[in-house]
Amino acid sequence: MTQRWSSPSIALHWLTALALVVVAGAGLVLQELPSDALARRIASGLHAVGGLSLAAMTLARLVVLWRKGRPEAAWRSGVHALGVRVVHVLTYVVLLALSLSGFVTAKPSTWHEFIKGEVATAPTFEGVASRQLHEALVVALVVLVTLHVLGVLVDERRRGGTMRRMLPW
pLDDT score recorded for residue 1: 43
Query: Which 3-state string (H, E, C) describes 104-117?
Result: HHHCCCCHHHHHHC
pLDDT of residue 169: 78
Provide block-wise average pLDDT over 10 residues at a time, the chain (169 residues): 81 96 94 92 94 96 91 73 90 96 92 90 88 95 95 82 83
Q: Using alpha carbons, select from 128, 65, 63, 74 the residue that is nearest to residue 101.
A: 128
The closest of 55, 60, 64 to 7, measured between CA atoms, is 64
Which pLDDT belongs to residue 2? 58
3 state DSSP class of 74 = coil
The C-alpha atoms of residue 111 and residue 155 are separated, in whole angstroms, by 43
Enumerate the domain spans of the chain: 7-166
The answer to whether 85 and 77 have CB atoms below 8 angstroms apart is: no
SS3 label, residue 165: helix
pLDDT value, residue 48:
93
Residue spans of alpha helices (H) in 5-37? 7-32
* 97 within 8 A of 136, measured Cβ to Cβ: no
Compute CA distances 169 → 18, 41, 58, whole Å: 17, 37, 22
pLDDT, position 3: 80
Is the entire prediction scored with pTM above 0.85?
yes
